[in-house]
Structure 1
C-alpha cells in the first residue's frame, strides 16, 4: 500500500512565527526543504518524490518555509532577519527531537540546507538539488532576479523567465509581500565553508538548469559528492520522476 501523507502540523519557531510541516513514511528521518515561491506539497508531494523516498524506508519530513505554503506569512520586515530560514530549520529539528537524520532541499531549500550546515546542523547525508555553486556563495544575482519579479508583477514579457516565475507564483498562491521579505534572509556561504561539508552528498540537477550556476562545480567543491543529472530545466526538473528516484537511490545506498 502507498504511504499516506500526514495532515499539516504546526510549531512555533525561534521567534514565535507559526511554521507548518507534513510527513510521509516511517523509518530514518530525512528533512527535505522546498524551493522559493513553492511549498512542500508542490515540490515534494505532487510529483511523487516524497512517496518514492518513503518507499525506501524513510520518514520524509517536509516543512513549508517561512512566508510560504501553510506557514505564517508575516509582512513585518523584522520577521525576515538574515538566516531566518536556517533558524527555522534548526527549530524544526529541535521540535522533532532529531539527532540522526538526513537533510536536503531544492533550490532555496538547498540554499537553506547550506546555511543550516554552516550554522551547526549535523545530518548524516545531504542533498543539494536545483542548485549550483554560485547559488550558495553569491546569492545576489538570484535575489535581484526575484526582487525584480515581485516588484513588477504583471509587467513581464510573456514567455520570459520572469513571466514564467510569476505564472508559477500564481499557481502556488504566493504572497508577494512576504516573499519579498524572504529575500532579505538570504546569506552567502563562503566557498571554503561549502568545501567543509564533509558528509556524503548528492547534487541532483536538471541537465538544462544553470539558474543557480554550475551544479558540477558544486559537486566538485563538496569533498564527498556525486552529481546526478536529470531531464529538464529549473522549473521542469522538479516535476520529473527521475529527481525523486535519484534522491531515493542516494539515501538508500
Structure 2
C-alpha cells in the first residue's frame, strides 16, 4: 500500500499488484474501498491470474485515503482528476480503466478526458447516467443516503440502509461519506460520445442502479453490455462478472 498527494494536496492511498499484462486501474463505489469492492470479491485475484498489473485507488473520503468533512472537496470532476493524477504518479500508459457504481461514473469521466485509457469497463450503473446525470436518483435520493448516515440510520428507506450496512461493515467515516454525497453534483455527465475506446457495461440482473445497461452502452461509440446475476452489492462477486471483465480486458 502506498500514498501520494493528488492535484489539490489530499493524500490518497493506492495499492499495486505487479503483473506483465496491461495495467488495470480499479475505482470502487461509494462507501466501499479497495478491499470491499475488489479484493474481497475476488476481482483482483481474477485479474492477477490473467497476468495483469492491477492498481486500485481508495477514493477521497474512503478507505485509507484522506477524508475531509467539507462537501466542497468532493465532486465528480475532482475524483476523476484524482484517478488521472494517479496515472501521472505511476507513469501509467495504455490503461484499462474499471469502475463500479460511483467509480463507474468517475471512470467514464476519466475515459472521456484521458487518452491513456485504452479500454473502459463500468459496472453498477446504467441509464441513470444518461437520465439523471450520474448515480440513478430514481432509485434513491441523496437525502435518503444522508439520513442513513446520521445516527443509527433509523427512518431511512431500505435501499439507503443498504449503504449504511456497508458503511458500518467497512468502518467508514460517516461524516466524510455525508460530505461525499452532498458534494457530488447532479449536473449531466457529458462527453460519452468522446469515449471511442472499447467499453463494457456490466450490470447485475437485480440491480436497480444498473437499469437499462444497453442504453448506456449504446451511448458509447464502442460500447456493449453484459448482464450477470446479482444485485448492486453482490453482482461483482459472481463468477460471470469476473469472467466477463477478464475476457474484455484481455
Q: Which moved more, 1:174-183 or 1:148-157?
A: 148-157
Alpha-carbon distance in structure 1 between the residues aligned to 2:141 and 2:15: 27
Aligned twin of 1:113 = 107
Q: Which residue does 2:14 correspond to in 1?
A: 21
In the other structure, the counterpart of 2:5 is: 12
TM-score, structure 1 as length reference: 0.88
- Larger mean CA deviation between 10-19 and 177-186 belongs to 177-186
1:146/1:195 CA distance change after superposition, 3 Å: farther
Equivalents in 1 of 2:3, 2:46: separation in Å?
Answer: 24
Q: Does 1:54 align with 2:55?
A: no
1:165-180 matches, within 5 Å, as 165-180=163-178
Contact 1:50 1:244 in 2 (8 A): no
Which consecutive unaligned segments of at least 5 residues does structure 1 have? Answer: 1-7
- Answer yes or no: is the 8 Å Cα contact 1:115–1:187 preserved in 2: no
TM-superposed deviation, 1:135: 3.1
Per-residue CA deviation, residues 73-106 of structure 1 (Å, 9 max, x unaligned), is: 1123443255211111111010001122111111
The whole-number CA distance in structure 2 between the counterparts of 1:53 and 1:114 is 20
Residue 225 (structure 1) aligned with residue 220 (structure 2)? no
**Local SS of the residue matching 2:155:** coil
Q: How far has the Cα of 1:187 moved from its partner? A: 5.5
**2:241 equivalent among 234, 240, 243:** 243
CA 1:167 to 1:153, structure 2 compared with 1: closer, same or farther past 3 Å?
same
Q: Within 5 Å, give how 1:84-163 maps onto structure 2.
A: 84-135=78-129, 138-139=133-134, 141=137, 144=142, 145-151=144-150, 153-156=152-155, 160-163=158-161
- Distance (whole Å) between structure 1 residues aligned to residue 153 and residue 51 of structure 2: 44
- CA deviations 1:111-160 (Å, max 9, x no partner) are 111122333353010001111131355237256243343246421368x2
Moved over 3 A (4+): 118-122, 185-191
CA contact (8 A) 2:134 2:189 kept: no
- The answer to which of 234-243 and 224-233 deviates more is 234-243
Distance 2:224 2:8 in 1: 36
Displacement after TM superposition at 1:189 (Å): 4.5
Under a length normalisation based on structure 2, what TM-score does the superposition of the two structures give?
0.89
The 2-side partners of 1:14 and 1:116 are apart by 15
Equivalent pairs, count: 243
Matched-pair contact (CA < 8 Å) for 2:76–2:106: no
Runs of 5+ consecutive residues of structure 2 not aligned to the other structure: none
CA RMSD in angstroms comes to 2.1
